[in-house]
Structure 1
Amino acid sequence: MPDFVHLPMILGPDGSRLSKRHGAMNVLHYKEEGFSSEALLNYLVRLGWSKGDQEIFSIQEMIDGFDLVGINKASAKFDIEKLRWVNQQHLLNTDDSELKMMLEARSDAAKGLNDEVTINFINAYKNRANTINDLVSSCDNLFSDEIKYDQDSAEKFLKKEILSPLKDVVDALKRSEWNQESISEALKSVCEKHEIGFGKIGQPIRIAVTGGTQSPSIDQTLILLDQSIVVDRIEAAIEYIEENSN
């Protein structure tokens, strides 16, 4: 005879029964949002079952480790932020070559990159991504033909007082060899010349090159792009400041 067990109920964040008013969605919606099937299964299994303190399981580990003893008696709350974290862990555990295929299947920008740049991009950005869609968005923004500034960030950091340092950044980068160490040294020399901390030029450069304030370290970000593209984008930011400073 088979064993019959009662599984705990899944509740919304407020402790009431999970329903559409909590944003409960069709499972295919999570796929469209960039969650992997393995991560979603991992999260759902852990809602009603546990094995010590282990949070992240492969499908085979779930199959091998599952037993009735580990089923929880108490109901569990569905937490979308926890699901994002679980998905991030699965993303980090995914082989770079597989991530490359996933990225190229979703991003037109990624299809135009050579293999080395794509892998370098993945290694630089995957720690900041909760889903493959996050990685796609970062890729499309960074390698876009046209950078669109986040308006709030541009108003905060692209100001007249940063014009002179940015112009020196352009000159320094034009003379620099194109590797991370040389880029760092070039930017450091500008900071020393103007007697400012790196933060004063870091965010303006980041906005100029990526459109926003969130990215890996500046040298790690710039090296993903051709030297001429970086220079062009910073010069465009200088023009933006000059046009909006009057």
Structure 2
Amino acid sequence: MNNQVITRFAPSPTGNLHIGGARTALYNWLFAHKNHGRMVLRIEDTDKERSTDTALENILDGMRWLGLNWDGDIYYQSQFIKKHQEIAYQLLESGNAYYCYCSADELSKMKEDALSQGKSPVYNNKWRERLPNEIDKKIQPVLRLKTPLKGKTIINDKVQGLIEYDNKDIDDFIILRSDGTPTYMLASVVDDHELGITDIIRGDDHLNNAARQINICLLMSWIPPSYSHIPLIHSSNGTKLSKRDGALSVSDYKKDGYLAEAVLNYLLRLGWSYGDQEFFSINEMIEFFNIEKIHKSPARLDLKKLLNVNSHYLKEKNDDELIKLIFKSERILFDKKLEEKMKLIIPHLKTKSKTLNELSELIRYLYQERPIEIKEFDFNIYTPEINDLVTSFKLSLEKIDNWDLMIIRDLFDNFLVNTNTKLIDIAKPLRIILTGSIVPTGIYELLLPLGKAEILNRISDYLNN
């Protein structure tokens, strides 16, 4: 018998990969790696009307970006419909399922009557023990599972603990629709069995489904998987997440300049902790992760915290890796000279940035086309006094031959003495003239990667304006 742990992430390609799904994928991935097992990716694509290739690509791209690589091929639920139907008919033949000929009107009336009596609006088992007549047969039936009428269904959940359901409260749910297609409730269980899934880790909105699905396993004499139902992610005020709360897709966070490792670390700690440790390497995540330590209460999305986590990882990230990311995100053709320029300034600029987008914007001045577009500021650089000061600086710059940080520092020191001015009087207009904005770093460091020739050209553009 194979005792290998096998988890699964089973998204539906009806929408993008959002942070809740990404956290579920992360927990499945960590649990599998922690136990030297495998994580299967299964695409639950039986809803053909709502499933799209765009959503599927978004899910796959998001997982690849986060580094949550699955093991083996991708499984598509729609490819196994015949197997789902085969199991449904086995349940029918063994007396554990039956055809239901109720019309839509009958089911609506059944629901209304139950609610009027203060009962749960569940199916009343009308067709559980009866056969259809010729009139009944005019209706295309659905196939329902015969769930136990007495006793309890018990789930020993690794997160929620021991949960008991009275079987009288579990309805005879549909496993095959009237057109013969399987429902999610059946298809998911059959797929889990066929793929050898040992552990199901998913949102606690599926907890009631588990009580139904485990009965399919028991009626088929299958060993049920182990369940772990994790609390959902709520907004900062404790309500259900929406886009207004920042509940964006993973691709949106990527587009907004968040780093994959920062998003992973933040998601890890949304409902799980390891002492007071805030930041984890991938190896530490795997080593310390314990599914039973996931909190039972819903986690709250805190975008300020996510931004701070991202800022930490941005500052810690290797400069060469950051430069590669900037080239890619800015869609710049690789240029060795530009790369060398970036290396000179990026250690300073990344301390001023919280996202890759902010860093990319600050470093953009290095490769802007001339003439530099100068944004509007409260500070007016087009005055005779500034014009004269910048002209004098240009003359001083033209006289120097070599170029390094010390020479730039001496250039400014001598200029300030000779013109009897303060550093801010020349540094502020120079920042705007050379970058078009106010890049928040030391003026010496700002000038160094530009080089003498480019600085002279940009100053000339300003003076000739």
TM (norm. structure 2) is: 0.47
How far 1:215 moved relative to its partner? 3.2
**1:164 equivalent among 353, 376, 388:** 388
Structure 1 Cα separation of the partners of residues 230 and 422 of structure 2:
57
How far 1:72 moved relative to its partner? 4.2
After TM superposition, the structure 1 stretch with the greater mean CA deviation from structure 2, 118-127 or 226-235, is 118-127
> What are the within-5 Å matches in structure 2 for residues 1-246 of structure 1?
3-5=158-160, 7-67=230-290, 70-72=293-295, 75-109=298-332, 111-114=334-337, 115-146=339-370, 147-152=372-377, 155-176=379-400, 177-240=402-465
1:117-145, Cα deviation, whole Å (9 max, x unpaired):
23223323222232223333233333112
After TM superposition, the structure 1 stretch with the greater mean CA deviation from structure 2, 34-43 or 131-140, is 131-140
Higher relative contact order (CA 8 A, sep 6+): 1
SS at match of 1:224: coil
1:158-179, Cα deviation, whole Å (9 max, x unpaired):
4332222211111111112311
Contact 1:172–1:187, Cα closer than 8 Å, also in 2: no
Question: What do you get for the CA RMSD once the two structures are aligned?
Answer: 2.5
Contact 2:381–2:429, Cα closer than 8 Å, also in 1: yes
Query: Structure 1 pair 160/78, CA: closer, same or farther in 2 (3 Å)?
Result: farther
1:71-125, Cα deviation, whole Å (9 max, x unpaired):
4455443222321221222222222332232222233557224243232233232
Structure 2: runs of 5+ lacking an equivalent: 1-155, 161-228
How far 1:227 moved relative to its partner? 0.8
1:152-208, Cα deviation, whole Å (9 max, x unpaired):
25x444433222221111111111231111112212222223322211111111111
Structure 1 Cα separation of the partners of residues 157 and 231 of structure 2:
19
Structure 2 Cα separation of the partners of residues 15 and 156 of structure 1:
47
Q: What is the identity, as a one-letter code, of the residue corresponding to 1:185? A: D
Contact 2:310–2:355, Cα closer than 8 Å, also in 1: yes
Contact 2:416–2:423, Cα closer than 8 Å, also in 1: yes
Structure 1 Cα separation of the partners of residues 336 and 158 of structure 2:
54
Query: Structure 1 pair 238/70, CA: closer, same or farther in 2 (3 Å)?
Result: farther
Structure 1: runs of 5+ lacking an equivalent: 241-246
> What residue number does 1:244 align with?
none
Identity %: 30
1:42-83, Cα deviation, whole Å (9 max, x unpaired):
111222122233222122212212235754455443222321
Structure 2 Cα separation of the partners of residues 192 and 9 of structure 1:
64
Structure 2 Cα separation of the partners of residues 209 and 187 of structure 1:
16
Larger radius of gyration: 2
How far 1:209 moved relative to its partner? 0.9
Q: What is the identity, as a one-letter code, of the residue corresponding to 1:164? A: D
Contact 1:206–1:212, Cα closer than 8 Å, also in 2: yes
Structure 2 Cα separation of the partners of residues 72 and 161 of structure 1:
64
TM (norm. structure 1) is: 0.84
How far 1:2 moved relative to its partner? 6.0
Structure 1 Cα separation of the partners of residues 273 and 428 of structure 2:
43
